[in-house]
Amino acid sequence: MPEIVRVASGQGFWGDWQEAPKLQVRHGPIDYLMLDYLAEITMSILQKQRQRDPSAGYARDFVPLMLELAPELIEGGIRVLTNAGGVNPDACREALLAGLSDVRTGRPMRIATVHGDGLMDRLDELLAAGHELQNMETGEPLSTIRDRVYSANAYIGAEPIRSALQGDADIVITGRSTDTALTYAALAHEFGWGADDWDKLAAGVAAGHINECGAQATGGNTLFDWRGVDLLAPGYPIIEASADGSFVVTKHPDLGGRVTWATVTEQLVYEMGDPRDYITPDCVADFSTIRLEDLGSDRVRVHGVKGAPKTDQLKVSIAYHAGWKATGTLVYAWPDAVEKAHRADELLRGRLDALGLEFDEIRTEIIGAGACLGRVASPPQNLPEVELRVGVRSSDREAVERFTREIAPLILAGPPSVTGFAGGRPRVQEVMAYWPALIDRDVVESNLRVDVREAAP
Amino acid sequence: MKVGLREVAFARSGDKGDTANIGVIAIGEIAYPHLVEQLTADTVKRYFRAVCRGSVERYELPNLCALNFLLHESLGGGGTVSLMLDAQGKTFAAGILGLEIDVPKTVIDECRQISAGNLPGRGRGAPGSVR
C-alpha cells in the first residue's frame, strides 16, 4: 500500500481553463488526475446533442486533452478519473481509442467506461413499477411532466470506478458520477478502504469537495486578500492523502495561486447545505467535524472528518422542458442614464402589453445600478452609463420570438443616448428546468456495468 | 464599534436550485462568537429582503469558525429557468460583507493583523488549535 496518494484536480466544470490539467501533469509528481465536466444542466445539453447525433453526448474537449497528454500519463504512471462521458461514455471512449491509434504511448492504454447511471430509457418502466420520482422540493410526481423530460441520470458513487481501477484502467470515463467520487474512488482503491469505512469515505468526500471546483480552492474567487493572489497561471489543488483518511491540500510549488486555511475554508463552505448531512452515494459526511491545520508553504492538513452510513436511495438529476426565454440589453449613457433605462423599460412593457403577449415572467435589471445585489449595494448618483437588461419567459415560443423584435425599435423610438445593440436581436433559448428526485439505490446499482478496453498497440 | 462585516469576516456563495448558500468565515477565531450572536437568520433575511423571497436557515460550523446561510427562493427559480443576471448567487458573498456588525476594537485589530499577514491564520502549526 502506498504511503501517500496524490489526486490532482484538473478541471472544475466544462469550460474551465484548458491549461490546468497539463500544468498538473507537467509541474510535479501526481498519481491521479481528476477531471470534472458535469453540472446539473450539462446532462440535458448533452442529451440534446446525442438526440441530434448518436456519436455525441459527452464532453468533447476531453478527447484532444487526453491525446496530448497520453505519453506523459503513461510515463508518469498517472491515471485519469473523469465524468466526461456525460450521457454517452461509449462514444467518448470510441473517439479516444480512434485518436490514440496515432499516438505513441509505449504500451497500449486501457480505457474503462462506467454504464448504468442513465435512466432515460428505463423511465416508463420505473414509473410503471411504482417509482414516482417525486420532486424533492415540491413533492409532485414525475408523471406530471413525463412527456417533457429530456434527461434522467442517477448520481453514482465510487464502486464502479474502483472496479475499473482494479481492472488496471489507465483512464476511467463515467457518466453522472458525483464530482466528489472522482477523487475518493482513487483513495478507496489505493488504500483498500471498506465500503463501510464511513469516516475514511467521509474524509474522501471532503477531499473531493475541495478538488471539484479547481482553482476555487487555491485562491481563485477568494474574498480573503484577493489582490494578493497571483492567478496568471494558478496551480489547481492537489490532495495528498494518507491511508487513515487525513490529507494535505497543496499545489505545485512553482505555479501561482495559494493554499491557506482561508482558501480551503472558502471552498469547503461552497454550495453547502446542512454541513452535518452531506449526502453522497457512499456515505453521509459531517463537515462540522473537519479540522484544518495550516502548515504554511501552501500546505493545509485536513483531518478528523466523521461520516455516517450511506442512505438507501440515490439522487436522480432530471431535466425537462419548461418553456422559452430571451434576454435583451441596451446601454443608456449620462446624464440621467438610470432614468432613461427605466423609461425604455416602461415603453417596452407597454408595447408587449398592447400586443397581448403572455409571459410567465418579465424581469428588468439595470446593470450598473444594483442588478446583482439590489438595495444591498448603493449606487452612486448620475452614473456615466447603465445597461438595461430585460428578460422574458413563456411557454409560448411565439411570444418570446416577438419580444426579441421589440428591443431594436427602442433605439430610434425611445429615450436618447442609447447604444450597445451591436449583438443584434436576442436569441430565443429553451428553458431546461431541473427536477431533483430520489430512487431506491438497488434499482440503479444492480444495473451498473464496467467495461475495460485496450487501445490498439 | 460598528464596522462592515468585511472587517472581521470573508465569505463564499453558491447555488442549489432556487436556494443560495452563503458561507461566512471569521477572519480571527476571536470574531466568531460575535458572528454567532449578531448574524442571525433574521438579520440576514432582512438584509437580503430585496432578493430573498423565502426563509433563511443558518447552520453553525464552530470547527471552521463559519456560519452557513441558506437563502430560499432567492434566485428567480434557479438554474436556466431564472432570468436573473446572477442566477447562481455568486455575488451574494461579497454582498453580505456589507452588513454592519458591532464588535470590540480588539477584535477588529486582531482580524486586521491576520488580514495583513502580521498574525498567523487559524491552526498554523498547532494541531487541534481550531475548536
pLDDT, tens digit (0-9, with 9 covering 90-100), for A271-292 = 999 999 999 999 999 999 999 9
Residue A380 predicted with pLDDT over 80 = no
Residue A252 cell numbers, joined:
505545485
Q: What is the pLDDT of residues B18-57, one digit of tens each?
A: 999 999 999 999 999 999 999 999 999 999 998 999 999 9
Spatial separation of the C-alpha atoms in residues A174 and A182, rounded to whole Å: 9
Q: Identify which of A46, A30, A70 has the alpha carbon closest to the alpha carbon of residue A237.
A: A30
Residue A353 cell numbers, joined:
402589453
**Domain presence at residue A129:** no
Residue A258 cell numbers, joined:
495559494
**Domain presence at residue B126:** no
Residue A2 predicted with pLDDT over 80 = yes
**Domain presence at residue B30:** yes
Spatial separation of the C-alpha atoms in residues A376 and A386, rounded to whole Å: 18
Residue A429's domain is classified under what CATH number? 3.30.70
**Domain presence at residue B123:** no
Q: What is the pLDDT of residues A293-350, one digit of tens each?
A: 999 999 999 999 999 999 999 999 999 999 999 999 999 999 999 999 999 999 999 9
Cβ contact, residue pair A373, B95, below 8 Å: yes
What secondary structure letter does DSSP report for A77?
T
**Domain presence at residue A326:** yes
Same domain, A243 and A368: no
Cβ contact, residue pair B84, A365, below 8 Å: yes
Which one of A287, A292, A393 has the shortest CB-CB distance to B130?
Answer: A292
**Domain presence at residue A389:** yes
Which one of B16, B95, B123 has the shortest CB-CB distance to A271?
Answer: B16
Number of domains chain A is built from: 2
Q: Cα distance from A205 to chain B (closest Cα, Å)? A: 17
Cβ contact, residue pair A271, B93, below 8 Å: no
**Domain presence at residue B121:** no
Q: What is the pLDDT of residues A213-232, one digit of tens each?
A: 999 999 999 999 999 999 99
Q: What is the pLDDT of residues A232-275, one digit of tens each?
A: 999 999 999 999 999 999 999 999 999 999 999 999 999 999 99
Same domain, A42 and A160: yes
| Residue numbers of the domain that contains B90 | 2-115
Cβ contact, residue pair A294, B78, below 8 Å: no
**Domain presence at residue B130:** no
B66-71 β-sheet, strand order: B9-16, B19-26, B66-71, B56-61
Q: Where are the beta strands (DSSP E) in A139-246?
A: 149-154, 171-173, 238-241
Cβ contact, residue pair B130, A225, below 8 Å: no
DSSP strand pairing (A171-173 vs A110-115) = parallel
Mutate which: B43, B55, B61, vs A, most A CBs within 10 A: B61
Cβ contact, residue pair A322, B81, below 8 Å: yes
Could you tell me if B118 lies within 8 Å of chain A, comparing CB atoms? no
Which one of A216, A296, A372 has the shortest CB-CB distance to B91?
Answer: A372
**A423 vs A50, higher pLDDT:** A50
pLDDT of residue B124: 47
Q: Which H helix or E strand runs over A386?
A: strand A385-394
Contact of A429 with A324, CB cutoff 8 Å: yes
**Domain presence at residue B74:** yes
Residue B128 pLDDT class (50, 70, 90 cuts): very low
Q: Identify which of A424, A387, A423 has the alpha carbon closest to the alpha carbon of residue A405.
A: A424
* Residue A157 identity: G
What is the distance between the terminal CA atoms of chain A, rounded to a whole angstrom? Answer: 30
Q: What is the pLDDT of residues A150-168, one digit of tens each?
A: 999 999 999 999 999 999 9
Q: Cα distance from A222 to chain B (closest Cα, Å)? A: 8
Strand partners, A437: A316
**Domain presence at residue B80:** yes
Cβ contact, residue pair A434, B17, below 8 Å: yes
pLDDT of residue B129: 40
Q: Cα distance from A296 to chain B (closest Cα, Å)? A: 7
Residue A202 predicted with pLDDT over 70 = yes
Same domain, A294 and A365: no
Q: Can you tell me whether residue B25 is helix, strand or coil? A: strand
Alpha helices in A77-122 (DSSP H): 89-100
Residue A397 cell numbers, joined:
415560443
Q: What is the pLDDT of residues A16-25, one digit of tens each?
A: 999 999 999 9
Same domain, A213 and A293: yes
**Domain presence at residue B11:** yes
Could you tell me if A432 lies within 8 Å of chain B, comparing CB atoms? yes
Spatial separation of the C-alpha atoms in residues A194 and B69, rounded to whole Å: 34
Cβ contact, residue pair A365, B48, below 8 Å: no
Q: Identify which of A69, A281, A268 has the alpha carbon closest to the alpha carbon of residue A161.
A: A281
DSSP strand pairing (A299-303 vs A79-82) = unpaired
Average pLDDT of chain B to the nearest whole number: 91
Q: What is the pLDDT of residues B49-95, one digit of tens each?
A: 989 999 999 999 999 999 999 999 999 998 889 999 999 999 999 99
Q: Which of A311, A346, A375 is the last residue of a domain?
A: A311
Could you tell me if B88 lies within 8 Å of chain A, comparing CB atoms? no
Same domain, A108 and A179: yes
| Residue numbers of the domain that contains A161 | 5-117+155-311
Residue A421 predicted with pLDDT over 90 = no
Mutate which: A218, A260, A269, vs B, most B CBs within 10 A: A269
> Cβ contacts (< 8 Å) between A376 and chain B: which residues?
47-48, 50-51, 95, 98
Contact of B63 with A289, CB cutoff 8 Å: yes
Q: Identify which of B32, B97, B110 has the alpha carbon closest to the alpha carbon of residue B65.
A: B32
Structure ipTM over 0.90, yes or no: yes
Same domain, A186 and A277: yes
Note the Cα A443 to chain centre separation in Å: 25
Same domain, A281 and A370: no
**Residue B94: how many CB atoms within 10 A of its CB?**
20
Spatial separation of the C-alpha atoms in residues B85 and A352, rounded to whole Å: 21
**Domain presence at residue A299:** yes
- Residue carrying the nine cell digits 496515432: A102
Same domain, A10 and A61: yes
Q: Cα distance from A352 to chain B (closest Cα, Å)? A: 17
Buried b (16+ CB within 10 A) or exposed e, A105-127: beeebbbbbbbbbbbeebbeebe
Average pLDDT of chain A to the nearest whole number: 96
Spatial separation of the C-alpha atoms in residues B18 and B15, rounded to whole Å: 7
Number of domains chain B is built from: 1
Could you tell me if A38 lies within 8 Å of chain B, comparing CB atoms? no
**Domain presence at residue A124:** no
Q: From residue A68, how far is each of A26, A95, A271 by CA, in Å?
A: 12, 14, 33
Buried b (16+ CB within 10 A) or exposed e, A86-98: bbbbbbbbbbbbe
Same domain, A207 and A183: yes
Per-residue pLDDT, averaged over A122-128, amounts to 97
Q: What is the pLDDT of residues A36-72, one digit of tens each?
A: 999 877 888 898 899 899 999 999 999 999 999 999 9
Same domain, A52 and A159: yes
Spatial separation of the C-alpha atoms in residues A27 and A389, rounded to whole Å: 44
pLDDT of residue B90: 95
**Domain presence at residue A125:** no
Mutate which: A272, A329, A364, vs B, most B CBs within 10 A: A272
One-character DSSP codes across B1-42? -EEEGGGTEEEEEEEETTEEEEEEEESSGGGHHHHHHH--HH
